[in-house]
Protein backbone atom coordinates (compact mmCIF):
# COMPACT_ATOMS: atom_id res chain seq x y z
CA UNK A 1 0.00 0.00 0.00
CA UNK A 2 2.78 2.38 0.99
CA UNK A 3 4.75 1.53 -2.16
CA UNK A 4 1.67 2.10 -4.34
CA UNK A 5 1.06 5.50 -2.72
CA UNK A 6 4.69 6.52 -3.36
CA UNK A 7 4.36 5.52 -7.02
CA UNK A 8 1.14 7.54 -7.37
CA UNK A 9 2.79 10.58 -5.78
CA UNK A 10 5.83 10.23 -8.04
CA UNK A 11 3.67 10.07 -11.16
CA UNK A 12 1.69 13.07 -9.95
CA UNK A 13 4.92 15.02 -9.39
CA UNK A 14 6.12 14.27 -12.92
CA UNK A 15 2.75 15.26 -14.36
CA UNK A 16 2.82 18.52 -12.41
CA UNK A 17 6.32 19.28 -13.71
CA UNK A 18 5.25 18.70 -17.31
CA UNK A 19 2.14 20.80 -16.81
CA UNK A 20 4.25 23.83 -15.85
CA UNK A 21 4.27 26.49 -18.53
CA UNK A 22 7.72 26.82 -20.09
CA UNK A 23 8.50 30.46 -20.90
CA UNK A 24 10.93 31.27 -23.70
CA UNK A 25 11.98 34.76 -24.77
CA UNK A 26 13.54 34.82 -28.23
CA UNK A 27 15.85 37.78 -28.97
CA UNK A 28 16.53 37.45 -32.66
CA UNK A 29 15.60 38.23 -36.22
CA UNK A 30 13.98 36.49 -39.19
CA UNK A 31 15.97 33.32 -38.46
CA UNK A 32 14.17 32.97 -35.13
CA UNK A 33 10.71 34.44 -35.70
CA UNK A 34 10.18 31.62 -38.23
CA UNK A 35 9.97 29.09 -35.37
CA UNK A 36 6.74 30.72 -34.22
CA UNK A 37 4.83 29.44 -37.25
CA UNK A 38 4.82 25.83 -36.03
CA UNK A 39 6.33 25.48 -32.57
CA UNK A 40 3.27 26.57 -30.54
CA UNK A 41 1.08 24.04 -32.36
CA UNK A 42 3.72 21.33 -32.08
CA UNK A 43 4.12 21.93 -28.34
CA UNK A 44 0.36 21.79 -27.84
CA UNK A 45 0.09 18.55 -29.82
CA UNK A 46 2.82 17.12 -27.58
CA UNK A 47 0.93 18.09 -24.41
CA UNK A 48 3.29 20.89 -23.36
CA UNK A 49 2.42 24.32 -21.98
CA UNK A 50 4.48 26.92 -23.85
CA UNK A 51 4.75 30.67 -23.71
CA UNK A 52 7.03 31.77 -26.55
CA UNK A 53 7.77 35.44 -27.15
CA UNK A 54 9.68 36.42 -30.27
CA UNK A 55 11.47 39.78 -30.51
CA UNK A 56 11.89 40.48 -34.21
CA UNK A 57 13.86 42.92 -36.34
CA UNK A 58 14.91 41.61 -39.75
CA UNK A 59 18.67 41.03 -40.03
CA UNK A 60 19.29 42.20 -36.47
CA UNK A 61 22.88 41.55 -35.34
CA UNK A 62 24.41 41.42 -31.88
CA UNK A 63 25.70 44.94 -32.46
CA UNK A 64 22.26 46.29 -33.30
CA UNK A 65 20.64 44.43 -30.39
CA UNK A 66 23.09 46.06 -27.99
CA UNK A 67 22.67 49.50 -29.54
CA UNK A 68 18.92 49.05 -29.07
CA UNK A 69 19.47 48.24 -25.39
CA UNK A 70 21.43 51.48 -24.99
CA UNK A 71 18.63 53.47 -26.64
CA UNK A 72 15.98 51.86 -24.42
CA UNK A 73 16.55 54.42 -21.67
CA UNK A 74 13.95 56.25 -23.74
CA UNK A 75 10.85 54.30 -22.68
CA UNK A 76 9.09 55.21 -25.93
CA UNK A 77 11.82 53.48 -27.96
CA UNK A 78 10.20 50.20 -29.00
CA UNK A 79 11.87 48.94 -32.20
CA UNK A 80 10.95 45.25 -31.92
CA UNK A 81 7.89 43.53 -33.28
CA UNK A 82 6.77 41.16 -30.51
CA UNK A 83 4.88 37.94 -31.24
CA UNK A 84 3.71 36.06 -28.14
CA UNK A 85 1.94 32.72 -28.25
CA UNK A 86 0.61 31.12 -25.06
CA UNK A 87 -2.47 29.45 -23.61
CA UNK A 88 -4.38 32.72 -23.95
CA UNK A 89 -3.75 32.96 -27.68
CA UNK A 90 -1.55 35.20 -29.82
CA UNK A 91 -0.58 38.79 -29.03
CA UNK A 92 1.38 41.26 -31.15
CA UNK A 93 2.81 44.59 -30.07
CA UNK A 94 6.01 46.69 -29.97
CA UNK A 95 8.61 46.72 -27.20
CA UNK A 96 12.32 46.78 -26.37
CA UNK A 97 14.77 44.33 -24.80
CA UNK A 98 14.87 45.60 -21.18
CA UNK A 99 11.08 45.83 -21.05
CA UNK A 100 10.64 42.28 -22.36
CA UNK A 101 13.31 40.82 -20.08
CA UNK A 102 11.47 42.28 -17.10
CA UNK A 103 7.98 41.41 -18.39
CA UNK A 104 7.94 37.84 -17.07
CA UNK A 105 10.03 35.23 -15.27
CA UNK A 106 11.47 33.61 -18.38
CA UNK A 107 12.84 30.08 -18.11
CA UNK A 108 14.99 30.56 -21.20
CA UNK A 109 16.28 33.44 -23.31
CA UNK A 110 17.61 32.61 -26.77
CA UNK A 111 20.16 34.64 -28.72
CA UNK A 112 21.80 34.39 -32.15
CA UNK A 113 23.91 36.43 -34.53
CA UNK A 114 22.52 37.84 -37.79
CA UNK A 115 23.01 35.22 -40.50
CA UNK A 116 25.16 37.37 -42.78
CA UNK A 117 27.68 37.79 -39.94
CA UNK A 118 27.25 34.51 -38.04
CA UNK A 119 30.20 32.86 -39.77
CA UNK A 120 32.58 35.65 -38.65
CA UNK A 121 33.45 35.41 -34.92
CA UNK A 122 35.01 38.89 -34.94
CA UNK A 123 31.49 40.36 -35.31
CA UNK A 124 30.28 38.81 -32.05
CA UNK A 125 32.32 40.84 -29.59
CA UNK A 126 31.93 43.00 -27.58
CA UNK A 127 28.22 43.22 -28.43
CA UNK A 128 27.22 39.64 -27.55
CA UNK A 129 29.10 40.00 -24.26
CA UNK A 130 27.22 43.16 -23.34
CA UNK A 131 23.87 41.67 -24.36
CA UNK A 132 24.53 38.53 -22.30
CA UNK A 133 25.45 40.65 -19.28
CA UNK A 134 22.20 42.60 -19.59
CA UNK A 135 20.14 39.40 -19.84
CA UNK A 136 21.83 38.03 -16.71
CA UNK A 137 21.14 41.30 -14.92
CA UNK A 138 17.44 41.58 -15.80
CA UNK A 139 16.53 37.87 -16.05
CA UNK A 140 18.96 36.09 -13.71
CA UNK A 141 16.70 33.03 -13.40
CA UNK A 142 16.75 32.33 -17.15
CA UNK A 143 19.06 29.91 -18.93
CA UNK A 144 20.60 31.63 -21.96
CA UNK A 145 20.83 29.38 -25.01
CA UNK A 146 22.14 30.02 -28.53
CA UNK A 147 20.34 29.10 -31.72
CA UNK A 148 22.87 27.70 -34.18
CA UNK A 149 21.68 29.15 -37.50
CA UNK A 150 22.00 27.54 -40.92
CA UNK A 151 23.91 27.93 -44.17
CA UNK A 152 22.20 29.52 -47.14
CA UNK A 153 21.01 27.52 -50.14
CA UNK A 154 23.14 27.41 -53.27
CA UNK A 155 21.03 30.05 -54.98
CA UNK A 156 22.98 32.63 -52.97
CA UNK A 157 25.76 34.20 -55.04
CA UNK A 158 28.00 34.71 -51.99
CA UNK A 159 28.58 30.96 -51.57
CA UNK A 160 28.73 30.01 -55.23
CA UNK A 161 32.03 29.64 -57.15
CA UNK A 162 33.64 33.06 -57.41
CA UNK A 163 31.33 34.43 -54.72
CA UNK A 164 32.22 37.26 -52.38
CA UNK A 165 32.69 35.00 -49.34
CA UNK A 166 35.21 32.68 -51.01
CA UNK A 167 33.63 29.55 -49.52
CA UNK A 168 30.72 27.26 -50.35
CA UNK A 169 27.65 26.13 -48.40
CA UNK A 170 29.62 23.62 -46.35
CA UNK A 171 32.19 26.31 -45.59
CA UNK A 172 29.47 28.67 -44.39
CA UNK A 173 27.97 25.97 -42.18
CA UNK A 174 31.31 25.00 -40.63
CA UNK A 175 32.40 28.59 -40.00
CA UNK A 176 29.02 29.46 -38.49
CA UNK A 177 29.04 26.35 -36.30
CA UNK A 178 32.55 27.08 -35.05
CA UNK A 179 31.79 30.73 -34.28
CA UNK A 180 28.77 29.73 -32.20
CA UNK A 181 30.79 27.01 -30.47
CA UNK A 182 33.39 29.59 -29.47
CA UNK A 183 30.72 31.81 -27.88
CA UNK A 184 28.97 28.86 -26.23
CA UNK A 185 32.23 27.57 -24.73
CA UNK A 186 33.11 31.02 -23.42
CA UNK A 187 29.85 31.26 -21.46
CA UNK A 188 29.12 27.54 -20.96
CA UNK A 189 25.88 27.76 -22.93
CA UNK A 190 23.91 25.09 -24.79
CA UNK A 191 23.02 25.40 -28.47
CA UNK A 192 19.77 24.74 -30.32
CA UNK A 193 21.14 22.81 -33.33
CA UNK A 194 18.90 24.13 -36.11
CA UNK A 195 21.84 24.53 -38.50
CA UNK A 196 22.99 20.97 -37.84
CA UNK A 197 19.48 19.61 -38.52
CA UNK A 198 19.35 21.49 -41.83
CA UNK A 199 22.69 19.98 -42.88
CA UNK A 200 21.58 16.50 -41.86
CA UNK A 201 18.41 16.86 -43.93
CA UNK A 202 20.34 18.11 -46.95
CA UNK A 203 22.63 15.11 -46.82
CA UNK A 204 19.92 12.54 -46.08
CA UNK A 205 17.49 13.52 -48.85
CA UNK A 206 19.84 14.44 -50.62
CA UNK A 207 19.08 17.97 -51.86
CA UNK A 208 19.67 18.27 -55.61
CA UNK A 209 19.19 22.02 -56.15
CA UNK A 210 20.72 23.28 -59.39
CA UNK A 211 20.79 27.05 -59.85
CA UNK A 212 18.57 27.97 -62.81
CA UNK A 213 20.08 30.00 -65.62
CA UNK A 214 18.90 33.49 -66.53
CA UNK A 215 17.19 31.98 -69.54
CA UNK A 216 15.34 29.43 -67.41
CA UNK A 217 14.22 32.13 -64.98
CA UNK A 218 13.04 34.34 -67.83
CA UNK A 219 11.03 31.49 -69.32
CA UNK A 220 9.01 30.89 -66.10
CA UNK A 221 5.39 31.92 -66.38
CA UNK A 222 3.21 32.62 -63.35
CA UNK A 223 2.46 30.64 -61.21
CA UNK A 224 5.26 28.18 -62.00
CA UNK A 225 8.57 28.45 -60.12
CA UNK A 226 11.93 26.69 -60.56
CA UNK A 227 12.49 23.39 -58.76
CA UNK A 228 14.34 23.67 -55.44
CA UNK A 229 15.49 20.06 -55.57
CA UNK A 230 14.20 19.35 -52.08
CA UNK A 231 15.87 22.35 -50.37
CA UNK A 232 14.29 23.56 -47.15
CA UNK A 233 16.14 26.89 -47.30
CA UNK A 234 15.11 29.39 -49.97
CA UNK A 235 12.09 29.90 -52.15
CA UNK A 236 10.85 31.45 -55.37
CA UNK A 237 7.67 33.51 -55.40
CA UNK A 238 5.83 35.95 -57.60
CA UNK A 239 5.70 39.49 -56.22
CA UNK A 240 4.72 42.94 -57.33
CA UNK A 241 7.41 45.67 -57.37
CA UNK A 242 7.85 47.49 -54.05
CA UNK A 243 5.93 50.48 -55.35
CA UNK A 244 2.98 48.16 -56.06
CA UNK A 245 2.96 49.09 -59.72
CA UNK A 246 3.44 46.89 -62.74
CA UNK A 247 3.28 43.15 -63.21
CA UNK A 248 4.40 40.57 -60.67
CA UNK A 249 7.96 39.34 -61.09
CA UNK A 250 9.69 36.16 -60.01
CA UNK A 251 11.46 36.80 -56.69
CA UNK A 252 14.22 34.71 -55.14
CA UNK A 253 15.02 34.17 -51.45
CA UNK A 254 18.22 32.22 -50.81
CA UNK A 255 18.58 32.58 -47.04
CA UNK A 256 15.33 31.94 -45.16
CA UNK A 257 13.68 28.63 -44.37
CA UNK A 258 10.76 27.85 -46.63
CA UNK A 259 7.50 26.46 -45.24
CA UNK A 260 8.74 22.90 -44.79
CA UNK A 261 12.02 24.19 -43.37
CA UNK A 262 10.09 26.10 -40.71
CA UNK A 263 8.55 22.78 -39.69
CA UNK A 264 12.03 21.27 -39.28
CA UNK A 265 13.08 24.23 -37.11
CA UNK A 266 10.04 23.78 -34.86
CA UNK A 267 10.82 20.07 -34.47
CA UNK A 268 14.35 20.94 -33.34
CA UNK A 269 13.13 23.50 -30.78
CA UNK A 270 10.47 21.12 -29.46
CA UNK A 271 12.98 18.30 -28.98
CA UNK A 272 15.54 20.66 -27.43
CA UNK A 273 13.29 22.42 -24.92
CA UNK A 274 10.91 19.61 -23.99
CA UNK A 275 12.85 16.43 -24.72
CA UNK A 276 10.01 15.28 -26.98
CA UNK A 277 10.54 12.28 -29.26
CA UNK A 278 9.53 14.25 -32.34
CA UNK A 279 9.68 11.16 -34.54
CA UNK A 280 6.33 10.24 -32.96
CA UNK A 281 4.60 13.62 -33.22
CA UNK A 282 1.12 13.76 -34.68
CA UNK A 283 1.51 17.38 -35.75
CA UNK A 284 2.36 17.44 -39.46
CA UNK A 285 1.21 20.55 -41.38
CA UNK A 286 0.13 20.17 -45.00
CA UNK A 287 3.13 22.17 -46.23
CA UNK A 288 5.62 19.76 -44.63
CA UNK A 289 5.69 18.02 -48.00
CA UNK A 290 3.99 14.74 -47.23
CA UNK A 291 4.37 12.03 -44.61
CA UNK A 292 7.65 10.62 -45.96
CA UNK A 293 9.36 14.02 -46.11
CA UNK A 294 7.97 14.97 -42.68
CA UNK A 295 9.28 11.69 -41.25
CA UNK A 296 12.76 12.46 -42.58
CA UNK A 297 12.67 15.94 -41.02
CA UNK A 298 11.55 14.44 -37.71
CA UNK A 299 14.46 11.99 -37.77
CA UNK A 300 16.98 14.71 -38.69
CA UNK A 301 15.70 16.99 -35.91
CA UNK A 302 15.84 14.18 -33.36
CA UNK A 303 19.36 13.13 -34.40
CA UNK A 304 20.61 16.74 -34.35
CA UNK A 305 19.34 17.37 -30.82
CA UNK A 306 20.82 14.10 -29.54
CA UNK A 307 24.17 14.90 -31.17
CA UNK A 308 24.10 18.45 -29.79
CA UNK A 309 23.53 17.11 -26.27
CA UNK A 310 27.04 15.66 -26.37
CA UNK A 311 28.79 18.02 -28.84
CA UNK A 312 27.19 21.43 -28.15
CA UNK A 313 26.40 21.29 -24.41
CA UNK A 314 29.06 23.39 -22.74
CA UNK A 315 27.49 23.73 -19.29
Q: How far apart are the first and last CA of the chain?
A: 41
For position 18, what pLDDT does the model report?
A: 45
Hey, what's the torsion of the CAs at 24, 33, 134, 102, to 10 degrees? -50
- According to CATH, the topology of domain 19-311 is Rossmann fold (3.40.50)
**pLDDT at residue 57 is higher than 70:** yes
For position 63, what pLDDT does the model report?
A: 98
**pLDDT at residue 229 is higher than 70:** yes
For position 19, what pLDDT does the model report?
A: 53
For position 259, what pLDDT does the model report?
A: 96
For position 127, what pLDDT does the model report?
A: 98
**pLDDT at residue 8 is higher than 70:** no
Q: Cis link prior to 257 (omega < 30° from 0)?
A: no
Rounded to an integer, the average pLDDT of 199-217 is 94
**pLDDT at residue 26 is higher than 90:** yes
Under 8 Å between Cβ of 66 and 131: yes
Question: Across all residues in the chain, what is the average pLDDT?
Answer: 93
Under 8 Å between Cβ of 24 and 111: no
**pLDDT at residue 6 is higher than 80:** no
Chain Cα centroid distance, residue 7: 39
**For residue range 83-115, what is the model confidence (pLDDT) as tens digits?**
999 999 999 999 999 999 999 999 999 999 999
Under 8 Å between Cβ of 251 and 236: yes
Q: How far is CA 93 from CA 56, 238, 285, in A?
A: 11, 29, 27
For position 15, what pLDDT does the model report?
A: 41
**pLDDT at residue 11 is higher than 50:** no
Under 8 Å between Cβ of 16 and 8: no
**For residue range 80-90, what is the model confidence (pLDDT) as tens digits?**
999 999 999 99
Amino acid sequence: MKRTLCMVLAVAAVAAAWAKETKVLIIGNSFSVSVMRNWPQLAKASGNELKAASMYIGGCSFQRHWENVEKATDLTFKPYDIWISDAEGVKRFKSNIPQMLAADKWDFVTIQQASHAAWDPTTYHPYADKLIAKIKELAPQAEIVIQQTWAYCNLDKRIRPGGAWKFDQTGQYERTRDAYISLAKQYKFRMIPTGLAVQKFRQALPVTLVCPTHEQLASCKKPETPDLGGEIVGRFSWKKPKDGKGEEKLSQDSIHLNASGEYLQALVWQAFFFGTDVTKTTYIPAYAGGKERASLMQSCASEAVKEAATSFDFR
